[in-house]
Amino acid sequence: MTAIALNEAEQRRSLAGPDLSGLVLGATALFLLALIGLPVGWLLAYAFSDKAGAVTLANFQALLDDPTLREPLVTTFSLASLVAFFAALAAAPMAWAVARTDLPGRRAVRAMMTASFVTPPFLGAIAWEILAAPNSGILNKLWRDLSGADEALVNIYSFGGLVFVMACYTAPYVFVVLTNALDRIPADLEDAAGILGAGRWKIVRSVTLPLALPALLAGALVAFLQAMILFGSPAILALPAGFHTVTTKVYALFQFPPKPQVAAAAALPLLLVTVALLWIQGRIIGRRGFAVVGGKAGEPRLLVLGAWRWPVLGLVLLVLALPLFLPYAALLKAAVSRIPSGPFDAANLTLTNISFVFLEFSQTQRAFANTFILAFTTATAGTGLALIVAYMAARRAAPGAKALEFLATAPIAIPGIVLGVGLFLAYTRGPVVLYGTLWILFLGFLTIELPAAFQQLRASFRSVHPELEEASRILGADRLVTLRRITAPLLKSGVIAGWCLIFIGVVRELSAAVMLATSNTKVLSVVIYDLNESGNLGAIAVLGVAMLLVTFAVVGLANWVAGVGAGIGIRKT
């Protein structure tokens, strides 16, 4: 290196102050390491120790020997497999119709699938209780009236019922992954096949389908993972049906007399399976999924449905009714009903649910405050953190960026209930006791939501060409100044989308919250869960609807502030 070059470098520094990127990188890495390391470390320590603290494998032996611990494991994996299968089965034709055909109202259908993603799964499960409880459920009563049958049409309190409800709320994940992939399949390839003489269906079969298959598999894997780690829906539907999943069992093991060691051991399989499946998913996507990303591909060729467009639309709407129209209608009805599933008449109409929630119930105000304080702070801090890591990762700003990227993605492998257990074990003792404060929830939510925001922002970074940043650097700004003044404004829509993702994620989070909240730090999801335990469905409906309204309003406002065109997950078709 010549003296002149050194001089220039020094000059640059003196213009813009010292380059802090190394420091920031180090601090971020340390923070992430502690964020993930502490709870997982405590989890492992507990799983391998007995009550006295001595090292043992007895907890794992109990998992194999004790049928009340073994059965939930078997149940969970068969449940997750079935959910993944049905979610893919429902989402695949929907995604194809929306992305590759001239279906009327394609954009609206996409937006509505996104709305069903906003719906917390536990709220969906409660709504389906109102709809499909075997005897009092609205749909079953209707079915009996119409058919004269004695038997129920659907029994939501059953293994099958749980599979159905969970598939309803995991299908959007498959849908999003699949539509993104289908959007990216360029017309050139299909055109080429057409020029070579292939017919329309031959093209679908030999070009579109093979290209979309990895995405479908990846989406199904996501659905599997979601179903495996979900706590809310099983907590609401599995107990009346008389079985446990791993998540509800882990939660039960924390009830008196608490068995944190066994709980930690029972939670570990979820962690291991998640890591394994994410690795497989990485292989699938890594091999084929991104092969068609970028390039100068033409617009995807839309299949003209012709006379089929209305029947297809009808089918799509029917599928949308399951996670969206029916449950929302049921919640709205329950909010103003004395008996949630009772007849829709004057005798059953009441405003007491609403007045109870907003005038009498002493937890409403605090729960709203806690929830939205946490959602705002986590979304803001999380987006900032994700922005830094995504920048480092996308620009390879410093050695070790790869490790940082790994750390920011790793929490995806930690199921909420597992993280909840880990955080509980980590922060109920010294040196830092955070249990009982909002901080422990903040850390939990930040950890859970970071990967999604990070992936969103990394994708955004990839779409901004580095030459703009290079220009800023050449003019003397250091990395952080460049990030703030050049890159961030260009990434506005990505940043807003990331922020909204975290915000929504926090509001609908239950599994970690239920482990970590105390009476002063209760959030809405936990309040709703508590109300469900005593069957106060009317109050739940009011709280749930209010919660969704505030969420939609905030997300709408964020997008409005960001200007037109920054939607979450809603791309132009």
Partner 1 sequence: MQKLLGLAGAMAFIATTALAQSPVYKITPELEAAAKKEGKLTIYTSVDVKVAEAIAKAFESKYEGIKVTVERNGAERQFSKIGQEYSSQIFNVDTVNSSDAAHFIYWKREGWLAPALPQEVAERYPKGSFDEQGFYAPWRASLSVIAYNNKMVTDAEAPKSFKELLDAKWKGKLVKAHPGYSGTILTATFQISRDIGWDYLEKLAAQQIMQVQSSTDPPRKVVAGERPVMVDGNEYNVFLEQAKGAPISIVYPTEGTPLVIGPSGIMKNAKNPNAARLYHAWSFSKEAQQMSVNVGGLRSFHPDVVEPAGRTPLGKIKLMKDDPVAVDKQVEQIKQQYLKYFKT
Binding region for partner 1 (CB under 8 A) = 68, 71, 133-136, 157, 238-244, 252, 254-258, 338-342, 356, 360-363, 366, 424, 428-429, 433, 435-436, 518-520, 530-531, 533-536
- CB burial of residue 64 (10 Å; 0-12, 13-18, 19+): exposed
* Three-state DSSP state, 351: coil
Closest to partner 1 by CB, 389 vs 434, is 434
Closest to partner 1 by CB, 2 vs 534, is 534
Q: How far is the CB of 62 from partner 1 (least distance, A)?
A: 13
Q: How far is the CB of 506 from partner 1 (least distance, A)?
A: 22
CA angle 153, 324, 108 (to 5 degrees): 135
* Three-state DSSP state, 414: coil
Closest to partner 1 by CB, 249 vs 479, is 249
Closest to partner 1 by CB, 298 vs 535, is 535
Q: How far is the CB of 338 from partner 1 (least distance, A)?
A: 7
* Three-state DSSP state, 152: coil
The residue whose two tokens read 């391998």 is 48
Q: How far is the CB of 333 from partner 1 (least distance, A)?
A: 13
Q: Which residues contact 453 (CB under 8 A, 6 or more apart)?
A: 382, 383, 386, 498, 499, 501, 502
Q: Where are the alpha helices (DSSP H) in 231-363?
A: 232-241, 246-253, 260-287, 309-320, 326-335, 352-355
Q: How far is the CB of 59 from partner 1 (least distance, A)?
A: 17
Q: Which residues contact 50 (CB under 8 A, 6 or more apart)?
A: 56, 58, 59, 261
Q: How far is the CB of 488 from partner 1 (least distance, A)?
A: 40
Closest to partner 1 by CB, 435 vs 445, is 435
As beta bridge partners, residue 303 has 101
Q: How far is the CB of 210 from partner 1 (least distance, A)?
A: 45
Checking 561-566 for CB contacts under 8 A at 24+ apart, the result is: 561/496, 562/492, 562/493, 562/495, 562/496, 563/492, 565/493, 566/492, 566/493, 566/496, 566/497
Closest to partner 1 by CB, 252 vs 490, is 252
Query: In this structure, what token pair is assigned to residue 307?
Result: 């006379």
Query: In this structure, what token pair is assigned to residue 61?
Result: 């032996």
Closest to partner 1 by CB, 448 vs 515, is 515
Q: How far is the CB of 262 from partner 1 (least distance, A)?
A: 13
Closest to partner 1 by CB, 297 vs 339, is 339
